[in-house]
Amino acid sequence: MRMDKVNELIKRELGKMILMGDINDPRVNLVTIMSVEVSKDLRYANVKFSVLQDDPKMIKNATEGLESCRSYMRKLIGQRLALRYTPEIRFYFDKGVQYAAQIDMALQDIKKNLPPIEEGES
């Protein structure tokens, strides 16, 4: 149970840093922190993120921006959260959001191509 709480606290703090402008790198402005999974020994935090658009250049820029401010983010987490260890942050792009958007678009296309249901039909 404690690990879930630590994961959520770190996720919330990283999100606040981006939202409140603690991170001055413009490449990070459109990043959303999707999930955090801290190792059992609290040494590493695997952070999954997403970006607003499914653009490879935007994803690359966001990844570079996050990597460039990774140590600063770790420092802020250490200052803001009372943890035994401040985990080393590792960023990973979460493809799940784009995949879900593609599925949604496919379902919308299918829905458009279906004949309308008339009253009395089920």
Which phi-psi region, left, alpha or beta, contains residue 116 (left: φ > 0; alpha: ψ -120 to 50)?
Answer: beta
Total-model pTM: 0.78
pLDDT of residue 120: 64
% of residues, the chain, pLDDT over 70: 92
Number of independent structural domains in the chain: 1
Average pLDDT score over the chain: 88
Domain presence at residue 46 = yes
Domain presence at residue 92 = yes
Whether the CB-CB separation of 43 and 87 falls below 8 Å is answered with yes
pLDDT of residue 96: 75
Domain membership of residue 23 as a residue range: 2-113
Nearest C-alpha neighbor of 39 from the set 95, 79, 86, 73: 86
Domain presence at residue 48 = yes
* Burial of 23 (C-beta count, 10 Å sphere; 0-12/13-18/19+): buried
pLDDT in tens, 66-90: 999 999 999 999 999 988 889 999 9
pLDDT of residue 79: 94
